[in-house]
Amino acid sequence: MKKPATSFSGYLAESPAQARAMLCEIRAAILAAAPTASETISYRMPAFAIDGQVVVWIGAFKSHLGFYPGATAIRTFRDGLKNYKTAKGSIQFPLRKPLPLDLIKAIVRFRCERLAGEATPSSRG
């Protein structure tokens, strides 16, 4: 059994060839929207975290890229996502179509804001 990737570059090397350029493109968009995010591997996929909290995950598949921002982001951006296959917390971007980079950046910024809000101490005693 192949050892799972431990870095983005390792994941990229193991990904389907047709997905590699788009993986780099989505990675750049995520880091542009969340410049303080660190890269890690979580659930065997590249993940981008701030202060130890994962903002989003990405994954490469034979015919699409998976983008995993969570259910709240999917609901919030549902109008912009109507041309993509979605599930509770995931979006599939077909490899044969350009990535919606502005939408991806908006979702990442939204996730960063949500995570920052969750990190704020509660006023309840």
pLDDT in tens, the chain (125 residues): 567 889 999 999 999 999 999 999 999 999 999 999 999 999 999 999 999 999 999 999 999 999 999 999 999 999 999 999 999 999 999 999 999 999 999 999 999 999 988 765 543 33
| pTM of the model as a whole | 0.90
Q: Is residue 29 within 8 Å of 98, Cβ to Cβ?
A: no
Could you tell me the CA-to-CA distances from 83 to 69, 76, 119 in Å, in that order?
17, 15, 33
Residue 71: count of CB within 10 angstroms of its CB: 12
**Using alpha carbons only, what angle is made at residue 25 by residues 16 and 101, rounded to the nearest 5 degrees?**
125
